[in-house]
Amino acid sequence: DIQMTQSPSSLSASVGDRVTITCRASQSVSRYLNWYQQKAGNAPKLLIFGASSLQGGVPSRFSGSGSGTDFTLTISSLQREDFATYYCQQSYSTFTFGGGTKVEIK
Amino acid sequence: QVQLVQSGAEVKRPGASVNISCKTSGYTFTTYYLHWVRQVPGQGPEWMGEISPSVGTTSYAQKFQGRVTMTRDTSTTTVYMALSSLRAEDTAVYYCVRILTGSGDTGQFDHWGQGTLVTVSS
């Protein structure tokens, strides 16, 4: 199975900060990499698919990049509603998720 | 709009089985595969398997082979996931999710059910 490793596991940031989360795959997943946001008590929500394509309705402050084994999710200017846990997921060979990055208020 | 509505929370004894339903609406049921994903509290989601609503074929994660069964009812546009021989480690929130695999898609899960908490405790 392909393992997905996210870093950091948690971070503290302020409204307006630029935030970057990284995800590394144990082998190449090409661009079959998706990002989700999960708020407490809710199901994950799709943010980005294909490493860099923004899901409809998702604010443009979210962006993704990378290919192969290394990927990043960037929030250009953190808003209050962005405090949540973020997961990467590979869909290249079955499906595996990263362990998550919790974004907390500083 | 697309909706996936799951059955309610369950409490089970170790060794028992659980059956969760996922009622879909707002799209053509047979067009998209449906998957089941579970999430142990405090951990990342974990893929369990998939079912083709059109023909009923299934594929399960190796970890759950022999314990999980996914079925569908096209007349009610509902899919079901049964997990047997439950143990404490199966305590988790279980989600049904729709996947997009068309041109330009990358197997992303675009719609999720609200989740069903299964608690396994003696």
Question: What is the nearest CA distance from B121 to chain A, expressed in angstroms?
Answer: 21
pLDDT at B106: 86
- Tell me the chain B residues in contact with residue A100 when contact means C-beta distances shorter than 8 Å: 43-44
Question: What is the nearest CA distance from A50 to chain B, expressed in angstroms?
Answer: 5
In B30-59, the residues whose Cβ lies within 8 Å of chain A are 35, 37, 43-47
pLDDT band per the 50, 70, 90 thresholds, residue B60:
very high
- Mean pLDDT, rounded, for B69-81: 98
Q: Which residue of B has its CA nearest to A4?
A: B44
pLDDT band per the 50, 70, 90 thresholds, residue B110:
very high
Contact B100 A49 (CB under 8 A): yes
Among partner residues A34, A98, A100, which is closest to B108 by beta-carbon distance?
Answer: A34
Closest of B102, B81, B106, B105 to residue B93, by C-alpha? B81
Query: β-strand B18-25 against B10-12: which pairing, if any?
Result: unpaired
**Residue ranges, chain A, pLDDT below 70:** none
> Could you tell me the two tokens for B107?
């197997």
Closest of B2, B4, B82, B63 to residue A95, by C-alpha? B63
> Could you tell me the two tokens for B44?
């990342």
Please, is A25 exposed, middle or buried when counting C-beta atoms within 10 Å of its C-beta (0-12, 13-18, 19+)?
buried
Residue with tokens 């997905």: A4
Determine phi and psi for B24, rounding to 5 degrees. -105, 155
pLDDT band per the 50, 70, 90 thresholds, residue B102:
confident
- Tell me the chain B residues in contact with residue A96 when contact means C-beta distances shorter than 8 Å: 47
pLDDT above 90: residue B104: no
Among partner residues A34, A51, A98, which is closest to B44 by beta-carbon distance?
Answer: A98
Q: Residue B70, SS3? A: strand
- Tell me the chain B residues in contact with residue A50 when contact means C-beta distances shorter than 8 Å: 104-106, 108
Contact between B93 and B44 (Cβ < 8 Å): no
pLDDT above 90: residue B103: no
pLDDT above 90: residue B99: yes
Give the rounded percent of residues in chain B with a pLDDT score beyond 70.
100
- Mean pLDDT, rounded, for B59-69: 97
